[in-house]
A and B are shown apart, each in its own frame.
Chain A
Amino acid sequence: MLNRLVRWSRIKSPWILHLNSGACNACDIEIVAALTPRFDLERFGVLLKATPRHADVIICTGPVTRQIKDRILRIYEQVPDPKFVVAVGACAMSGCVYRGAYNILGGIDQVIPVDAYVPGCPSRPDAIMDGVVKLLGKL
């Protein structure tokens, strides 16, 4: 019974943390645009949180550069369980155009485990919302 209540509250108000691991910013601007009045992600109860310790869902963009790899691991450990990771954009999925560069490791899944992938370069805000909602449906 308590489990059902907790699960219901988790689905109804996922708080997200936005993590940029060296991206070109297009996906990040589309994520912020998803919170503006036209697309309005906040009607799903989603709030953009400042600190990892308050977040449930980590939304990541960008191919992972060598410099930021340790910081991502540290932030991932700071987010309390249960946590979910959404990789937004082609860079976060596999590195997009930057595959093969000397400072890039590839997609986010080379560093932390990912639960949902949203393709696009950049992903449209509608696609990001679709991805987040599908993730909530899986919970």
Chain B
Amino acid sequence: MKVTIPIGPQHPALKEPISLRMTVDGEVIKDADLRLGYNHRGLEKLAEEKTWIQNIYLTERICGICSHSHATCFVQGVEKLMEIEAPRRGQYIRYLVSELERVHSHLLWLGVAGHEAGFDSFFMYTWRDREIVMDLLEIVSGNRVHYAINTLGGVRRDVDEAQRAKILGSLDTLRKRTEYYLMIGANEPSFVGRLSRVGYLSKEDAVALCAVGPTARASGVARDVRKDDPYAVYGEVPFEVCTADSCDVLGRTVVRVKELLQSYNIIEFLMKNLPEGPIAVKAPRKAKPNEVVSRYEAPRGENIHYIKSNGTDKPERLKVRAPTLANYAATVKMLKNGFIADIPLIFAAIDPCICCAERTVEVVDARSGEERTLRFSELRRIARGRFEKVSQKRNAAWPF
């Protein structure tokens, strides 16, 4: 009996329009299909009509959560095209905001994962702590989201002594709170039991399907652009690539928590060793005809921009590939042989940023071929119900 269950585009659990189409046989998913396109805004064509500076504004708005990633990846590439280099103080400030964005994105994800697993208090706690980071970002750049701190040749705002002291002081609070979440996670058997063995992606699959970011790192693939292709300051900042071996959603949670702690160390290093000097150099209006490939480690994975210039003040071609698009093939693999009730959790585990990559998913029952519209709210009710009934896997340890 094939039943097709289409989910989306509007549903409460995920904040973006996606449409999933799953073929189910009872409760087990046999096949999954994603329909992209609800979020396709024609950015690459728009970018060809705007100048370099206007394009910084545009690339920032590809995504709200990882806006600085796209803007920085673009600016890095254009600076190479124009053959200018931002001064060291400017670079330190730019990557300080990058790491703060990574912290805020991982805390956001922890909250969402807790919410999907049914652990609402965890959601409220992590988002409360996220407000500390949003305050820091507002002090440094002036806005909570879309910081607009990049410009061609450096950054637009400086960090003074009072702001530096505030950032270093807040790091202590954040560290204490993250350790507390670690303790909750390790000692909360139902939470750990809910997340373990869900969304399994073996190491061979992660490599063959070109997965990126924490999704790949949780399957043991140590792929991190900050180590493979160190851009700007990451050659001098000491940090480690965090991996886990459990290949499931629990592994992805662990990798993100470990990355939070690494980011705190990086921010501390950047703030304690902030060099003196100017924060920006003047950039020319036009760029010589050339091409550049710019890679950046966004919170979700590798972000790659290919920019080609033709001697005018507008780009010839801007190609953006956001990390969630790379993880899509891996998601389809993960969803097969999972349960319907696990769909929200698996999908949330890749940290979908649909606006970066536009996608949709529908559910199709394998046996009857019928299509049934299942509201995502019903799906979430099923997911929560299963959480309550899941027997505690006593041997699922927090592999930290």
**Which residues from chain A sit less than 8 Å from chain B, CB to CB?**
18-30, 32-33, 36-38, 48-52, 63, 65, 67-68, 71, 75, 96-98, 100-104, 121-122, 124
**In whole angstroms, what is the CA distance A127 to B41 when docked?**
26
In angstroms, how far is the closest chain A Cβ from the Cβ of B61? 5
In angstroms, how far is the closest chain A Cβ from the Cβ of B189? 26
Given contacts A67-B40, A68-B38, A101-B42, contact A51 B15 (CB under 8 A): no
**In whole angstroms, what is the CA distance A60 to B91 when docked?**
37
**Which residues from chain B sit less than 8 Å from chain A, CB to CB?**
9-12, 15-17, 37-43, 45-46, 49, 57-58, 61-65, 67, 108, 124, 127-128, 130-131, 134, 144-146, 353-355, 375-377, 380
New contact pairs (17) apart from A25-B355, A28-B15, CB-CB < 8 Å: A22-B355, A26-B64, A26-B146, A29-B64, A32-B15, A36-B127, A36-B128, A38-B128, A38-B131, A65-B40, A67-B40, A68-B9, A96-B61, A100-B49, A102-B42, A103-B40, A122-B145
Question: Chain A CB within 10 Å — which of B16, B43, B65, B375 has the most?
Answer: B16
User: A50's contact among B12, B15, B16, by CB below 8 Å, is which?
Assistant: B12
Contacts of A30 in B (CB 8 A): 144-145
**In whole angstroms, what is the CA distance A48 to B83 when docked?**
50
User: B146's contact among A75, A98, A100, A121, by CB below 8 Å, is which?
Assistant: A121
- Show 9 residue pairs from A and B whose CB-CB distance is below 8 angstroms, ordered by the A residue: A22-B41, A24-B355, A25-B63, A25-B353, A26-B64, A27-B64, A68-B38, A97-B57, A102-B42
Do residues A68 and B127 form an inter-chain contact, with CB atoms below 8 A? no
Do residues A23 and B376 form an inter-chain contact, with CB atoms below 8 A? no
**In whole angstroms, what is the CA distance A27 to B146 when docked?**
11
In angstroms, how far is the closest chain B Cβ from the Cβ of A136? 22
Given contacts A19-B10, A36-B127, A101-B43, contact A25 B38 (CB under 8 A): no
- Considering only CB atoms, which chain B residue lies closest to A78 in the complex? B10
- Considering only CB atoms, which chain A residue lies closest to B381 in the complex? A50
In angstroms, how far is the closest chain A Cβ from the Cβ of B152? 18
**In whole angstroms, what is the CA distance A21 to B38 when docked?**
8
Contacts of B65 in A (CB 8 A): 25-26, 29
Given contacts A30-B145, A65-B38, A100-B46, contact A24 B377 (CB under 8 A): no
Question: Chain A CB within 10 Å — which of B43, B144, B354 has the most?
Answer: B144
- Considering only CB atoms, which chain A residue lies closest to B126 in the complex? A36
Question: Chain A CB within 10 Å — which of B11, B40, B43 has the most?
Answer: B40
User: A98's contact among B46, B144, B376, by CB below 8 Å, is which?
Assistant: B46
